[in-house]
Amino acid sequence: MQVASTASGASWIDTHCHLDEFVAHGGQDYADRMRAASRSAGVGHCVIPAVERGNWAACREMAHRWGDSYGLGIHPLYTPRVQEGDLAALSAALEQAASERDERLVAIGEIGLDYFVKGLDPARQEQIYRDQLQLARRFDLPVILHVRRSADRLLKHLHEVPVQGGIAHAFNGSLQQARAFIDMGFKLGFGGALTFERALQLRRLAEELPLEALVVETDSPDIPPHWLYVTAEQREAGVPQARNTPAELPRIGAELARLRGMAADDLARASSANAARALPRLAALLEGEGAAHG
């Protein structure tokens, strides 16, 4: 796989997209067309995080099919469905990937905490999160974090069970929290949410944080940018919600670049380099494939 470039030469890395969901909802042919379209748009690489035991194999398959990379983990929203043996199964899957030298496994994720959705057991979430941090230490992997109204608790556990870093996905915390993650070796993921003019704090963070701390993402098919968003009133009137895809990343990245007063191509290069620093196996993977196509 050769990382695709835009017409002007820059290439984007979508550091967080659930591409297996496109297969589940539209079939393999639809997913293949979507991925091809995003590659043509300049998205050379996607990182596909898993969310539960039931989609680990699909995420791995998609990464290998399209020349992308993936993570394995248990998302906090899926913790009510965790059964006895799931964490042991995750450990076994990581062992297998290590024994097979699967270079496309680049992180443990998506893991973390969610204190926004009602009905989730905080203690259960935290134990499963902590157990996965231990696996990240054991297998020397970075983590991809779900951060929703939970930054301080995530940081507390990271101080107690430190890992090599990773990406705080869809970050929307305070400047102080952002700096705490950065100090622990994390990059911060920015996506469609920053395209809304009313997202004042998020846009301010996107402007003010050090460039070397930022990566870009879509979280597709979720978190649509403002040009895809359908309001509640429109949905009630029968207007369907458009599905976010990695092909939207260059436009999202261009908005981030505009906020920072820089060229989109420069932002693409910087954010891709940051992604490679956050996920060392991704760096090795891209370097190897670049050499193979040089």
Q: Which domains does the chain have, with CATH numbers?
A: 12-292 (3.20.20.140)
**What would the two tokens of residue 215 be?**
């990566």
If you search the block for the tokens 């102080």, which residue do you land on? Answer: 176
Residue 254 DSSP code: H
If you search the block for the tokens 């705080």, which residue do you land on? Answer: 168
Q: Count of CB atoms within 10 A of residue 26's CB? A: 15
pLDDT computed for residue 293 by the predictor: 58
For the chain, list residues with pLDDT below 70: 1-9, 290-294
226 annotated among ligand-binding-site residues: no
169 annotated among ligand-binding-site residues: yes
pLDDT computed for residue 5 by the predictor: 40
Identify the helix (H) or strand (E) that includes residue 230: none
pLDDT computed for residue 238 by the predictor: 83
If you search the block for the tokens 């035991």, which residue do you land on? Answer: 53
Taking the CA atoms of 94, 166, 285 and 53 in sequence, report the sign of the dihedral they define: positive
Q: Which of 287, 16, 11, 270 is nearest to 143 (CA)?
A: 16
16 annotated among ligand-binding-site residues: yes
pLDDT computed for residue 233 by the predictor: 87
Q: What is the C-alpha separation between 90 and 88, in angstroms, rounded?
A: 5
- Helix 151-160 to helix 122-139 angle (10° resolution) is 40
Q: What is the C-alpha separation between 205 and 181, in angstroms, rounded?
A: 13
If you search the block for the tokens 């290439």, which residue do you land on? Answer: 11
**What would the two tokens of residue 256 be?**
């981030």
If you search the block for the tokens 């905080």, which residue do you land on? Answer: 122
110 annotated among ligand-binding-site residues: yes
pLDDT computed for residue 4 by the predictor: 37
- Give 45's contacts (C-beta < 8 A, 6+ positions apart): 3, 11, 13, 14, 67, 68, 69, 272, 282, 286
Q: What is the C-alpha separation between 35 and 45, in angstroms, rounded?
A: 10
pLDDT computed for residue 287 by the predictor: 87
218, 196 Cβ separation under 8 angstroms: no
50, 56 Cβ separation under 8 angstroms: yes
75 annotated among ligand-binding-site residues: no
pTM above 0.85, yes or no: yes
pLDDT computed for residue 288 by the predictor: 77
246, 62 Cβ separation under 8 angstroms: no
pLDDT computed for residue 241 by the predictor: 78
146 annotated among ligand-binding-site residues: yes
pLDDT computed for residue 262 by the predictor: 98
